[in-house]
Structure 1
Amino acid sequence: MSLSHARPFRPSRSLCVALALMPVLGVGTLAACDAARASASQGQPVRVGLGSADGQPTVQAGDRLQVSAHGGVLTEVTVTDPRGRQLVGGFSQGGTVWTSRAKAAPDTKYSVLARTKSPQGGTSEAKESLTTGKVVKRNRLTFSPRPHGEVVGVDDPITLTFSFPVRNRAAVERRLEVTTDNGTGGGWTWETSRGGRDRAVWRPEQAWKPGTKVVLRAELNGVDSGGGRFFTKDYGLRFTVGRSPAVRADLDSDAYITPGLGLTPALWQGPGG
């Protein structure tokens, strides 16, 4: 007889019952019966699939990541980027689908841990990873005041000037956070510079108190500013408020703003020019 046609021994239910009534001699056979019962009770393992929320198997920058379970439900999904930041999401379709609320960042490797449960109660987990595509169109920003711990005047706002128009202003603003060491409050407004560029400006409710330490976090990596133009990095800014207004350059008018004097024509070209 050819071994290629031999079938593995699977004890029937009646045989298992009969063996259970005999003296404990066939321990291996009884163990096979227990394993067969356990496998039958847990059912087939749940299959886990990855893709984008629009049904594509690949995930591009700006897509929402989707994890799906076939043959069971998802009980837990954790998606993290290389810096350990989680992509938050929620379940739908009776727990068979998990979709991220935030959009995936470009050119980022995400690690996915999905725990599942079968209809028979069997549990398992799957670990996968995926890397999103790179972006073709980028947006960038510049700060005022300048970063690196500069001391600024009590009347200076925080200004972010963008290289390209920002259509999704709400999405960008949600990623901007200003904190101070004394709880100074304020808010964002949007303006257009004389050069036609979009600007987000944060002003304190009242003039800065001298000595206030200010931190801006702009976690914009992966945010679509509109029209498929993405930010591809996070930004940060720290500065300390000085005891008097600062003399600063107005690059739009080729002049300096001097406290009490307004615009003063520039006699020489500074670092900004």
Structure 2
Amino acid sequence: MTPRSPLRRSRRPAVLCAAAVATVLAASACSTGEGDLAGEDAGSTEEARLSITPEDGADEIRPNEPITVTAESGKITDVTVEQAGGSGESLPMTGTLNGDENEWVSDWTLVPGADVVVTATAENGAGEATEVVSEFTTLEATEGQRLEFKADTPAQQMLTEGPVGVGMPIIIDFDMPVENREQVEAAMEVTSEKPAQGAWNWFGDKQAVFRTEEYWEPDQKVTVDLHLAGVEASDGVYGIEDTSIEFEVGRSQITDIDEDEHQMVVESDGETVKEFPVSLGMATTRAYTTTSGVHLTMGKFTNFRMSNDTMGVPKDSPEWYEEYVAHAVQISNSGEFLHTADWNYQLGEANTSHGCVNMSVEDSAWFYENSLPGDPVVITGTDRELEVDNGWGFWQRGWEDWVAESATGEADDTGEAGAPGSPHVAE
């Protein structure tokens, strides 16, 4: 990912408005006459004056304190932040310059236990530069109180190992509980080649999930920059390292399954490519009822063992069963798969399964080969709704509720840099 200029303007609305106002004022000043221009020239030789917070020589600064550069005269032209040592790596530091170009504030937090050098430059009206440097250190993260992102989860592996489907969520798991969710959300920056509206929700105190308002646009790259170094996840617990994740969204494949019709229709990029006869849950019990709603394909398996002992049915029970199936694609955490059922002779005619979607040998092999993680599978017609926290059932929560459930309460435009809210210390 190409580093952004440190003198950028973020997506934060107040900053963008300030920039627009500054442009109007500048245009007006150019047309006010000779007297105003003479006054401007008279002050143009005054040396630009700068101040930096934290101040030079400061020690054990909390890493979630913002860096602020202020020009008491002149305009800020450059700010660089260098971090050395500390407990982890950091992404390039960017900041937001206000419309008057006399205040710059860092966008992200600092690496704990680092030696930080901030170099700022401002120019007066004559173009003469003044440079100020502040060197300080940040507080170290205490052993046992260091928040880390878990990169070895199955969801992360599926996200980064190849193309994913248009419904794919971004699932971030942490090794410690997060109490300051607003600050942590604001430190997680999502950008995509094709802009979308998205937001984070939390499932438990260690997992944050990002999804968009509509499915991802197909055939694009998405970048997730986790600016976690220095974020205070809870009292005295700091993130120690930044991480960048990039993944590719592939073609759009959406599967619709009608319980009443016993049919499954697969569309790829808006065109119907396959229609299959299927058999859903027999619905004699809640466990044997297929869930309705927007599912996402998860894991894929071959020669997969299917048994209801995972639901607590003992082997000596007359209801116990065990089968090994050639192909299985998981769509929930409650035992639902689209899988081979060469014993089922009522495909397309009746619902006789224990809750899964039964398919023929040939059809299940095709679906296995042509599925990506995060492909939507929409099931309709049953009286059991998929829960939002059952597998990747995140699309079951309506968009307005999804945004309301985020810690910042704001949607995130993935076409612009930055993130809603602030990762810095709460006021």
* Range class of TM-score, shorter chain: 0.5 to 0.7
Q: Which amino acid aligns with 1:240?
A: V
Question: TM-score, normalised on structure 1?
Answer: 0.54
Give, in angstroms, the shift of residue 189 of structure 1. 1.0
Larger-Rg structure: 1
CA gap 1:228/1:211 in 2 versus in 1, 3 angstroms: same
CA–CA distance in structure 1, aligned partners of residues 53 and 330 of structure 2: 56
What runs of 5+ residues in structure 2 fail to find an aligned partner?
1-44, 83-90, 256-296, 302-309, 312-327, 338-427
Question: Is the Cα contact below 8 Å between 1:50 and 1:68 reproduced in 2?
Answer: yes
Return the offset for 1:155: 4.5
Distance in 1 (CA, whole Å) between partners of 2:213 and 2:117 is 40
Asked if 1:247 corresponds to 2:299, the answer is yes
For residues 221 and 230 of structure 1, what CA distance do their matches in structure 2 show? Answer: 7
Aligned to 1:126: 131
Of the candidates 157, 161, 164, which is equivalent to residue 173 of structure 2?
A: 161
- Other-structure match for 2:330: 258
Aligned residue number for residue 63 of structure 1: 65
- 1:99 to 1:258, Cα distance in 2 relative to 1, 3 A: closer
**In 2, Cα distance between equivalents of 1:62 and 1:102:** 10
Query: Matches of 1:108 and 1:152 in 2, distance apart?
Result: 40
Partner of 1:75: 74
Q: Which amino acid aligns with 2:181?
A: R
State which of 206, 211, 214 in structure 2 corresponds to 1:203.
Answer: 211
Partner amino acid, structure 2, of 1:125:
T
Which residue of 31, 54, 74 maps to 1:52? 54
Aligned residue number for residue 234 of structure 1:
243
Q: How large is the RMSD of aligned CA atoms in angstroms?
A: 4.6
Give, as a single letter, the amino acid of the residue that structure 2 aligns with 1:64: P
- Distance in 1 (CA, whole Å) between partners of 2:65 and 2:333 is 51
Structure 1 residue corresponding to 2:118, chosen from 89, 111, 128: 111
What is the aligned partner in structure 2 of residue 269 from structure 1?
none
Q: Name the CA shift for 1:179/1:125 in 2 (closer, same or farther; >3 Å).
A: closer
Change (3 A) 1:207 1:220: same
Residue aligned with 1:145, SS: helix
Distance of 1:157 and 1:240 partners within structure 2:
11
8 Å Cα contact 2:51/2:132 also seen in 1: no
Displacement of 1:139 after TM fit? 0.9
Judge which range, 254-263 or 137-146, deviates more. Answer: 254-263
Report if aligned partners of 1:208, 1:241 keep a CA contact under 8 Å in 2.
no
Instruction: Indicate the percent of aligned positions where both proteins have the same amino acid.
Output: 19
Q: 1:79 to 1:209 in 2, by over 3 A?
A: closer
Deviations 1:99-123 (A, max 9, x none): 8465651215333225488xxx9x7
Which amino acid is the alignment partner of residue 168 of structure 1?
A: N
* TM value normalised by structure 2: 0.37
Contact 2:230–2:238, Cα closer than 8 Å, also in 1: yes
Assess, with a 3 A threshold, how the Cα gap between structure 1 residues 262 and 65 changes in structure 2: closer, same or farther: closer
Q: Is the 8 A contact 1:180 1:215 kept in 2?
A: yes
Report the AA paired with residue 172 of structure 1: V
* More relative contact order, 1 or 2 (CA 8 Å, 6+ apart): 2
Q: Give the partner amino acid of 2:207.
A: R
